Amino acid sequence: MTELINNRAYRQEQLKQIIMDLHSGKTVDEVKERFAALLKDVGATEIAQLEQTLIDEGLPEEEVKRLCDVHVQVFQDSLDITPSPESIPGHPVHTMRLENEALGKVIARLKVVLDEVVAANDEERPRHIDEWKRLHRQLCEVEKHYSRKENLLFPILERNGISGPSSVMWSLHDDIRAGLKEISALLDSVASLSAAELKGQIEAKVRPVLEEMDSMIYKEEKILLPMSLETLSEDEWLAIAKESDDIGYTLVKPEVEWQPERSSKLAAAPKQAPEGYLELPTGLLTLKEIQLIFNHLPVDITFVDKDNVVRYFSAGPERFFTRTKAVIGRRVERCHPPESVHVVTKIVEDFKAGKRDVAEFWIRMKGQLLHIRYFPVRDEAGEYMGVLEVTQNITRIQELKGEKRLLDEEETEA
């Protein structure tokens, strides 16, 4: 056992040195032979552990991202002989691989269409551009694939001590998103471009994004998915499968629902919330945290139960309408002036009858524009449980224009 541990430690150190040499400026060819001599069958999990170790020791994630493709090229010989992960229909990995296969076909077809766009004469070019636009819309569906990785898979990998590779991959997702957005803008203005200008834009903006997407598929198939299969438990995969529908899928959908072998055991042994926490469908919170969250919302909220009794109001730093604790337990009809009670009554009656799902008003008060909305609160079976009043000051929101992606201090530094 000691020999095995020592060998693994030695191997990790040698692999780390190879990566460090790359970061120091050595070429792929200079280190590739050393890697092949050291290890011919390095696994995906070991690659991820290596990158995680480098990040933990202080190597910036941006550096790992910058040389991510170099890493893959160094390891490609061994990765290509690693069999693709086996999975069954409905399993999240099986679904992701089907999506990658569909994306790969769209990318391959689009590369052909781009050649046709460049080679076509002025009369034929619009037809090929229409095909390009159709394929581009399909490529943009990759957002759902990336979102499931970022919001379902990556958090669980992090809980298992693997955060570096997912952070790097998320950054690469954003690069691809930005590229797809640029291509969308290009397609909106394509009619104004000459043939030469269009060819230049395709080479500069479009083909690099397609190569990045191809590379991402390779990284998933050869690194991320095998590593995840080695790392995640069956109940963790089950959690991912259950929430995947909420985000959606890219180009394909699972044909069947995955039924893990341990599902009956999982159901028989539910996890208990830590002491002092309330277990909610989407997380764990203490009563203190719930109170603070409600009081820090950028809106005022008031809840009236199904019997028309006021049960709660938030106590944020700025309230637009007076609320005191004396209102708790009071019927909502008595909380409004007689001339407006009929409006409140009508809203509640419509909510209870299922005739509407929102009632909204906007008024000016003390120079501010207030947006007041009422929402029916219903349980999982659709039964009416009460009404939520939400008031928001939208004066500044109406003034917003364009985009703001930097903090104020970052804008100053720029």
Please write the tens of the pLDDT for every residue from 342-383.
Answer: 888 899 999 999 999 999 999 998 889 999 999 999 999 999
Are 143 and 66 in the same domain?
A: no
pLDDT of amino acid 4: 40
For residue 247, give Cα distances in angstroms to 111, 149, 171, 284, 380: 28, 10, 20, 21, 20
Instruction: Domain count for the chain, please give it.
Output: 3
pTM to 2 decimal places: 0.69
Q: Is residue 5 over pLDDT 70?
A: no
Q: Is residue 412 part of a domain?
A: no
Distance between CA 3 and CA 9 in Å, rounded? 10
Whether 97 and 239 map to the same domain: the answer is: yes
Instruction: Decide if 409 is inside a domain.
Output: no
Residue 2 pLDDT: 42
Task: Give the SS3 label for residue 278.
Answer: strand
- 340: helix, strand or coil: helix
Could you tell me if 30 and 40 are in contact, meaning their C-beta atoms sit under 8 angstroms apart? no
- Whether 239 is covered by a domain: the verdict is yes
Do 28 and 61 reside in the same domain of the chain?
A: yes
Is the domain of 76 the same as that of 96?
no
Q: Are 242 and 106 found together in one domain?
A: yes
Residue bearing the bigger pLDDT, 43 or 14 = 14
Structure tokens at 92: 């999240």
State how far the alpha carbon of 231 is from the alpha carbons of 48, 176, 236, 267, in Å.
11, 27, 10, 22
Query: What mean pLDDT comes out for the span 260-276?
Result: 60
User: Does 259 lie in the same domain as 140?
Assistant: yes
Average pLDDT over every residue of 203-226: 93
Q: What is the pLDDT of residue 264?
A: 44
Do 200 and 311 lie in a common domain? no
- Domain end call among 59, 80, 101: 80
Both tokens of 198, joined, read 């269009």
Residue labelled with tokens 């999240």: 92
How high is the pLDDT of residue 339?
A: 76
Instruction: Based on the fold, state whether residues 293 and 384 are members of the same structural domain.
Output: yes
76/99 same-domain check: no
76 and 102 in a common domain: no
Is residue 163 scored above 90 in pLDDT? no
Predicted confidence at residue 66, as pLDDT, reads 63
Q: What is the CATH number of the domain that holds 198?
A: 1.20.120.520
Q: Give me the pLDDT at residue 409, please.
A: 65
Can you give the residue range of the structural domain that contains 35? Answer: 2-80
Encoded amino acid at 128, one letter: H
pLDDT tens, residue by residue, 166-194:
888 999 999 999 999 999 999 999 989 99
Residue 413 resides in a domain: no
Closest Cα partner for 225 from 376, 390, 96, 360? 96
Predicted pLDDT at 40: 56
